[in-house]
Structure 1
């Protein structure tokens, strides 16, 4: 992202703070206007002539760039394993672990290993986990019972 004095073009296509079109302006004039309004002049693309530039509040440009980077990154999967006969304290620990993972922007794959006829109990356990994690993530898939495990993928809310 090219900002303020780093813009080398002689003139720019300027857009105001509220998105209003200000037309083609000499770069020095655009920089003076940005200083006067106490904002940053940010070049959005170098591929055209004159380059399009926007007036953006101080620091907002960097925040916007960080948000874009965060959205670009593919979420990693972190698996959390549970058992159908988990105790309350252990469940809370696993829930906090999943919460931390979702807050960091990664997806959680909650897996319950099954032994015998624990399918309904495992499904109930995963539903309560989903309910507890609702503020931090939403299920990408439904609860899937297959063979020796029940699983659900939870994606973070960004």
Structure 2
């Protein structure tokens, strides 16, 4: 949610709180803006869900910094999806190294990784578990297990989270 400040607030009246948290009551927006200028502060709208909207006087620049910090922390681009890497039980060494490097790259960039092994028959469960044990041990420098190795009917999987 964007922070509305100063002239961006369009309501004719606001419920104002002072710099030290004291209640100043309902007053016209223009009067609240003049008060903010006198105190060298910003008029910040706290919520648009009520009428008149509650606003607060906050020291100059503090509100913008807080809004930027909040945006950085809750940026939709920062939600990290779990990336899946699929393997088979009969994987060759070269392909294994490629998958390991791929998982390592994802983990060091901060993404959690789901390692999944597809099983062709019921007897491959132990082999799949051994493969996932080996791969998670090889990736221990960049990630740690979030779950244990889960072997079900048609597959085996383990999730690794980045260390940082």
Q: Do the aligned residues in 2 keep the contact of 1:126 with 1:152 (CA within 8 Å)? A: no
Which residue in the other structure is 1:112 paired with? 117
Gap change, CA 1:12 and 1:125, over 3 Å in 2: farther
Q: Quick one: which of 96, 104, 107 aligns to 1:95?
A: 104
Question: How many pairs are equivalent?
Answer: 147
Q: Do the aligned residues in 1 keep the contact of 2:142 with 2:162 (CA within 8 Å)? A: no
Where does structure 1 lack aligned partners over 5 or more consecutive residues?
A: none
| TM-score normalised by length of structure 1 | 0.61
Answer with 1 or 2: which has the greater Rg: 2
Helix, strand or coil at the partner of 2:103 = helix
Helix, strand or coil at the partner of 1:118 = helix
C-alpha RMSD over aligned residues: 4.0
Alignment of 1:132 with 2:142, yes or no, is yes
| TM-score normalised by length of structure 2 | 0.59
Where does structure 2 lack aligned partners over 5 or more consecutive residues?
A: none
Alpha-carbon distance between aligned partners in 2 of 1:16 and 1:122, rounded to the nearest angstrom? 63
